[in-house]
Structure 1
């Protein structure tokens, strides 16, 4: 069960009108007189009632904070500490850096940890630094090492292979440098909801028998960029872990390596399990639709068209933000109509059921505006 599906809690009645009426009724019963609206005593009692109402609201708020669904960040930190779950800070993007020598050498060439590589359009603040010391062995001309972005968050994502090609820290004999993988894995600090969910699933990690929830928990702990994890056991003793990144992005090799290290830790993985980590299998689909706007809303036509485009974009993100989410055109219809379309004709996608280890990825998006029509 999701925390959001739980019934809302209320420990004391904090309705202002009911509270004031109860206080006046008790006063009238004790005093044996009736408090008219202009009675100074009624005004005085009402002023005290406002303080009592505020206290009741605070009682509700304070009591609800003891429960995971309502706890704010400071309380979540204490709840997490009891389960040995710490909040994940902002994660820096990662990529693979390739250093090339001008010619093979007779001795090994060392690339120090922290060697910085940037882009031609960089401002000097955003660069990728080598994570550890790397060596180019004698007779070889190429060495690779993982690079970590200098700025945490998603600002370092999306550098395509070859775009990071400026060696900021000059090294002897190095002719060129470039990134060989697209930078990815950068994410903002863990949200309250994500932190709350990890605390809720933390007991799964206590088991040493390899339950599905334990692998999900440890995989998510590898990076705050991971929003969903699939776990599959094709045969006894074999486990496949499939992480999914924020925004429905597929994990790069650097993220897969980080997850592999987390789930294969000797304190985590059961001794008899053979664990592999791979990207989810993608199922592609197209989006093609035509929509019309009511003639009575002609003055809003331009803004509605923008809202429809935003609605389709929101659907794209929603569709690929969870493993195993069926391709559902009714969700697309609901979003486009909520954006202001009077009616629409969805040519694609059609409904398709996905297994829990697959992810839907849109390939082609075509939005046609059919014009104004009568209601």
Structure 2
């Protein structure tokens, strides 16, 4: 059995801070790209490049965690992400930026996997929910710094991580250890399926700017992301996680179908907030089905490949119809799989 001893004093802040800062460091380029004079195709490639790096997480995390430990992975990954943001600020060369973006994806996969494992091992659903909510906090933080600092926003990443590192370095005293056999491949097919289906509402949002316009979509997203953090916490404290997932996923599927089919902007707010909030309980559901915490984070990052595939796939044909149908179908599939899997585990 793999285990992690976690000091109660730091177990709350470290995974939340780790997920938030790594999310900020990866997402900030989405806003920064508007200040680089590249075509939309090149922008799409650079923004999507981290998904390639994240897909390597089951290999990179499985190998590194058995050799250097969770805490060192977390603070070294975050420190490196800050340095890469600095390099990105001073270069406009496409090839260099492409390599840096892929490395950012690798580091994001490592840091978020470590954060999710620490949160899951804490045995606190609230910590898990708030850790997953780090994605929303990171996005809001990126949007805010972009508004205030404009093209200098990448420098803020360095400052934030430098400020946070002293606290994260405390994690070296968490006495994290590897128990039993070493795991060179941290992966679970069941966890992968849960995250593939559960993350669809988040990744389908990438087509919204082309439908509503950049200005309106950012306003809607900012409101929705702020609201979503309340759902991250609410869903994590509700007692019956299976029922919560079933109800929220079905509502998300219906709202998503209506959002794209009718293209009514305000419906995207509850759809986005609920869709993101549901992510809070996905690691909890995965653990309830018997998946080891060490496999959850890497499987989550491998599922991020759909963040690159989904926006491209729905563009093949009618974007509105494809997005509406895909969102509804994936929500039904998630509910069905989780219900059948948890029911089977009881017998």
Given the two structures, how large is their TM-score scaled by the length of structure 2?
A: 0.20
State the structure with more CA Rg. 1
Larger strand proportion, structure 1 or 2? 1
Q: Give the number of the structure whose residues are more often helix, by fraction.
A: 2
**TM-score scaled by structure 1?**
0.19
